């Protein structure tokens, strides 16, 4: 892949407290993987690298609202999200109680996300960008290549990867700017994701390599 600020952007998925803060509802499942990858720091390094070098930054957030609690069926992790109210917002149009909540950005990322230049797209509801406007926002800005990062490796990141590839984008995944759950019965989501990244992505980079590619 070639990385040119004119048609390449950094996409960060779910840089939110519930999956990146030690107080988040999912930290018990993802914390070990995040610590091993130094995920929190590596995501910030990507933000800094993209901002300093003029690359566009897009956030694909995950929000669940009260209406979503009425879903009649779902997979195991989908049910976990609803039961624990992961990424929960009490109202789709109001921000009451949002600041500092599990759905809010990790505090250290706010200067990069809330700088008036970062594009925050509408929320995805399950795992992939089929339910939000990420692809539209990228296309409207002439973005053809993506540096992909965020949470969680085997769920939202992999689902975004697959859909973006199907939509014709070139995608490089940053393998240590993500993390995944480990579950005694479901298994190690990070190990599963890395295997699939190698099969699917146009490139699999470390954070060091991604920052250098944007230089």
Residue 154 has a CB neighbour count (10 Å cut-off) of 26
Helix (H) or strand (E) holding 189: helix 189-200
pLDDT for res 119 = 98
Look at residue 72 and tell me if it is in a domain.
Answer: yes
SS3 call for 136: helix
pTM for the complete prediction? 0.97
pLDDT for res 9 = 98
pLDDT confidence tier of residue 183, bands split at 50, 70 and 90: very high
Look at residue 1 and tell me if it is in a domain.
Answer: no
- Report the distance separating Cα 143 and Cα 133, nearest Å: 14
- Structural contact between residues 64 and 86, judged by C-beta atoms closer than 8 angstroms: yes
What is the DSSP annotation of 71-115?
Answer: -----HHHHHHHHHTTTB-S-SS--TTTTTSTTSBPGGGHHHHTS
Look at residue 90 and tell me if it is in a domain.
Answer: yes
Look at residue 30 and tell me if it is in a domain.
Answer: yes
Look at residue 66 and tell me if it is in a domain.
Answer: yes
Of 12, 9, 8, the closest CA to residue 43 belongs to: 12
Look at residue 2 and tell me if it is in a domain.
Answer: no
CATH code assigned at 88: 3.40.50.850
| Domains identified in the chain, total number | 1
Of 158, 147, 163, the closest CA to residue 190 belongs to: 158
Look at residue 92 and tell me if it is in a domain.
Answer: yes
Average pLDDT over residues 28-34: 97
Average pLDDT over residues 186-213: 97
Percent of the chain at pLDDT above 70? 100
52-66 pLDDT, tens digit per residue, is 999 999 999 999 999
**Could you tell me which residues are beta bridge partners of residue 205?**
174
Look at residue 39 and tell me if it is in a domain.
Answer: yes
Q: Provide the domain limits for residue 181.
A: 8-213
Average pLDDT over residues 182-195: 95
């Amino acid at each position: 892949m070639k990385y040119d600020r004119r048609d390449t952007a950094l996409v960060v998925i779910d840089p939110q407290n519930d999956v990146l803060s030690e107080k988040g509802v999912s930290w018990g499942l993802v914390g070990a993987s995040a610590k091993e990858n130094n995920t929190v720091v590596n995501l910030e390094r990507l933000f800094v690298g993209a901002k300093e070098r003029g690359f566009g930054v897009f956030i694909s957030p995950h929000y669940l609202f009260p209406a979503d609690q009425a879903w009649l069926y779902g997979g195991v992790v989908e049910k976990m999200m609803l039961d624990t109210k992961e990424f929960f917002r009490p109202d789709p149009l109001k921000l009451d109680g949002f600041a500092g909540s599990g759905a809010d950005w990790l505090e250290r990322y706010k200067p990069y996300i809330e700088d008036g230049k970062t594009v925050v797209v509408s929320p995805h509801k399950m795992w992939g960008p089929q339910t939000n406007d990420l692809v539209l926002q990228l296309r409207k800005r002439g973005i053809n290549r993506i540096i992909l990062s965020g949470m969680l490796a085997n769920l939202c990141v992999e689902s975004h990867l697959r859909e973006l590839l199907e939509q014709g984008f070139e995608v490089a995944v940053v393998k240590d700017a993500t993390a995944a759950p480990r579950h005694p019965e479901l298994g190690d989501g990070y190990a599963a994701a890395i295997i699939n990244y190698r099969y699917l992505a146009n490139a699999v980079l470390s954070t060091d390599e991604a920052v250098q590619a944007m230089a």
